[in-house]
Amino acid sequence: MKLTPLCFAILLVAANVLITATAKNIVLIAGKPSHGPGDHEFNAGCLLLKKCLNALPGIQSEVYNMGWPKDESVFDDADAVLIYADGGGRHPAIQADRLELIDKLAERGTGIGCAHYGVEVPKGDPGEALHRWIGGYYEHLYSVNPMWNPEFTFFPKHPVTRGVKPFGVRDEWYFNIRFKPDMSGITPILVATPSDEVRNGPYIYPKGPYPHIQAASGRKETVMWAYQREDGGRGFGFTGGHRHVNWRNDNFRKVVLNGLLWIAKAEVPEGGVSSEVTDAEIKQNLDDKNR
């Protein structure tokens, strides 16, 4: 039986509708401009992640910059949400009634990811919210934020680590994260041992050093983790991402892309997410910070 051009067009539209309906939707929230040129390039970083994600079959992602979508209906069909933005008291998820909104997303199974400064919130209700969503958070004066170059040489068997090879990049890797007390559901993904020189500071802010950090000399520290929530939802915390140029590193990028697929409950390829970012692409979409 031969298909008429009209029938073929109808079938093509129907197939596209079916693919769109079954695709995993990932919302990437990029924070407002922050820090100097080349640092905290949230929008440019999210656009690189979007480019890599949207090259994958069955994945759709969109970037919403300036800290939050103007229309919150974008969350209605979100399978995962990444928050890559300034944290602390300015964290976009703790403004207005957004804690309640994200709690509802998590309750329905939406994955939640937080990157770099986005893992820091104040103690109290915001900290408990991140415990619920991703299992841990950066706590002011408990956690630390030195600029250092950890070497990641061993990875647990987990979908987020598929295809990730040993690597090391200099970044503001946070550690001594305030995890849930029982650590249930938490899998350390990127782990390294800071030298005493790193522990002795200075940290980025406050400069420290903190006696409780120095006292833990020789201890391995987790700088990225995956969280399997008791309700079946998923989350992760990734503390790197201060220096935009690091998205050029294939393994740095791969572990985050794998994490986004995992929290969206999409299948992570056996060799992890393959992607390419060029030097030219790293220089695109940077915030205008000269003013």
Which pLDDT band holds residue 12 (cuts at 50, 70, 90)?
Answer: very low
Name the phi and psi angles at 210, rounded to 5. Answer: -105, 130
Decide if 181 contacts 131 (C-beta within 8 A): no
pLDDT in the model for residue 114? 98
Number of domains observed in the structure of the chain: 1
Q: Over the stretch 195-242, which tens digit does the pLDDT of each residue have?
A: 999 999 999 999 999 999 999 999 999 999 999 999 999 999 999 999
Residue 4 above 90 pLDDT?
no
Residue 15 above 70 pLDDT?
no
Separation of alpha carbons 74 and 67, rounded Å: 14
Residue type, 208: G
Is residue 235 situated within a structural domain?
A: yes
pLDDT, average across residues 69-91: 97
pLDDT in the model for residue 14? 36
pTM summary value: 0.92
Percent over 90 (pLDDT), the chain: 91
Is residue 148 situated within a structural domain?
A: yes
Beta strand 80-84 with 111-115 is parallel
Residue 157: count other Cβ atoms within 10 Å of its Cβ. 7
The SS3 assignment for 254 reads helix
CATH number, residue 51: 3.40.50.880
pLDDT in the model for residue 204? 96
Decide if 86 contacts 59 (C-beta within 8 A): no
Residue-by-residue DSSP string for 42-108: HHHHHHHHHHHHTTSTTEEEEEE-TTS-SSGGGGTT-SEEEEES--GGG-GGGSTTHHHHHHHHHHT
Q: Over the stretch 50-60, which tens digit does the pLDDT of each residue have?
A: 999 999 999 99
pLDDT in the model for residue 17? 38
Q: Over the stretch 24-49, which tens digit does the pLDDT of each residue have?
A: 999 999 999 999 999 999 999 999 99
Is residue 51 situated within a structural domain?
A: yes
pLDDT in the model for residue 181? 93
Is residue 166 situated within a structural domain?
A: yes
Taken in order 68, 258, 120, 147, the sign of the CA dihedral is: negative
Is residue 75 situated within a structural domain?
A: yes
Is residue 265 situated within a structural domain?
A: yes
Domain that includes residue 148, residue range: 27-282
Average pLDDT, the chain: 93
Is residue 45 situated within a structural domain?
A: yes
pLDDT in the model for residue 223? 98
pLDDT, average across residues 186-190: 98
Decide if 113 contacts 134 (C-beta within 8 A): yes
Q: How far is CA 211 from CA 151, 208, 214, in A?
A: 24, 9, 5
Give which of 60, 26, 59, 64 is closest to 42, Cα–Cα. 64
Separation of alpha carbons 189 and 66, rounded Å: 29
Is residue 246 situated within a structural domain?
A: yes
Which pLDDT band holds residue 290 (cuts at 50, 70, 90)?
Answer: confident
Percent over 70 (pLDDT), the chain: 92
Which pLDDT band holds residue 5 (cuts at 50, 70, 90)?
Answer: low
